[in-house]
A = this chain, B = another copy of it.
Amino acid sequence: MFKLRSLVTALALVGSISVASALETLPTVAPAPADNPTTQEKVELGKLLYHDPRLSSTGTVSCSSCHNTMLGGEDNRANSMGVHGQTGGRSAPTVWNSAFNTVQFWDGRAPSLEAQAAGPVTSPIEMGMKSWDDVIARLKTIEGYQVAFEEAFGKDSITKDNATKAIASYERTLITPHSPYDKYAAGDTSALTAQQVRGLHKVQELGCTSCHSGPAFNGPGVFQPFPIHSNPVFAAKYHFKDDKGLAEVTKKADDEHLWKVPTLRNIALTAPYFHNGSVKTLDEAVVVMAKTQLDKDLSTTEVADIVAFLNALTGQFPKQSMPVLPTTPGRTFN
């Protein structure tokens, strides 16, 4: 981890460079790691696995239950609900454009979509499977999966490694380009309203785009501290510091309250906000961020302008076909 406060300050200066050179459209294709090139067969298999509730102990929770591909890629809940109605302490991040995150999970503990996909399946409060061995054993009894894995990875290829690779391949197709902001960035000055343009300039001027930078507004710094400036009102209301972020994983004091910079793409669709989902509206999230990260008190107009701009980051959701999941004729899945 690098020294973040100095980086924030340095990048705040970068944030004031001219608009024209700074705006980047969202790529329409996501990069894939060398050991998992995206293929249509993997995407199709991953789409099945992603939507299959039989990857959970109860047969009721799929990846899409909490990261809903029919909505903004999550569940609009403060904390997701896993098997047997259990809830954890964090809010589900959106799956849309997650391919453009350098690291995954709020605390950034997974270095790839592949690594992320392995996690929730065996979390006792999420999908509740006892082990990946159990998942693989179950998948092997479903003939349609034997076929789909063979098409994607070759014969007898139902493994945890391949299952997570397929899910990641599918997730890399979940991109929402052509937002009003993208059209504006591509040169169509009529794509944003005057208020949205004011909001764009304001987030640059304030320094929001120092951390929320790049085409997905989630880089270049991978981790950032949150909250930077203590605020007793927010502390009492939102309890941000109850969760130590990356330090919960690494157990290092230096990592306390470090978080992955979340994308601002489709941010209007992913209420409630922050790692614990404690803030219900985007307006309030903007107020909180300005105060805790930049020590700024925004006027009502400034908040409205920024929120208008953030709404311009809502992209076009690709038309998808509904998967037809492979069946277990004459018996149940367990």
Q: With A307-B330, A332-B280 in contact, do A325 and B77 touch (Cβ < 8 Å)?
A: no
Residue contact B271 to A328, C-beta cutoff 8 Å: yes
- In the bound complex, what is the Cα–Cα distance between A65 and B65 (angstroms)? 9
Residue contact A317 to B324, C-beta cutoff 8 Å: yes
Give, as a whole number of angstroms, the nearest-CB distance from A282 to chain B: 4
Residue contact B75 to A53, C-beta cutoff 8 Å: yes
Residue contact B317 to A329, C-beta cutoff 8 Å: no
- In the bound complex, what is the Cα–Cα distance between A328 and B76 (angstroms)? 9
In A33-84, the 8 Å CB interface with B consists of 51-54, 58-60, 65, 68-72, 75-77, 81, 83-84
Residue contact A65 to B76, C-beta cutoff 8 Å: no
Give, as a whole number of angstroms, the nearest-CB distance from A221 to chain B: 26
Bin chain A's interface residue count.
35 or more
Tell which of B58, B75, B272, B317 touches A77, judged by Cβ atoms closer than 8 Å: B58
Number of copies: 2
Q: With A60-B81, A69-B322 in contact, do A269 and B76 touch (Cβ < 8 Å)?
A: no
Residue contact A330 to B51, C-beta cutoff 8 Å: no
Give, as a whole number of angstroms, the nearest-CB distance from A308 to chain B: 10
In A300-330, the 8 Å CB interface with B consists of 307, 311, 314, 317, 319-325, 327-330
Query: Nearest 7 A-B pairs (CB), nearest first?
Result: A85-B85, A282-B330, A84-B85, A268-B329, A320-B322, A60-B81, A322-B322
> Can you report 14 A-B residue pairs in the complex whose CB atoms are below 8 A from each other?
A52-B70, A60-B77, A71-B325, A71-B327, A72-B327, A76-B328, A76-B332, A269-B328, A271-B330, A281-B331, A307-B330, A320-B321, A320-B322, A321-B322
Residues of A within 8 A of B (CB): 51-54, 58-60, 65, 68-72, 75-77, 81, 83-86, 268-269, 271-272, 280-283, 307, 311, 314, 317, 319-325, 327-333
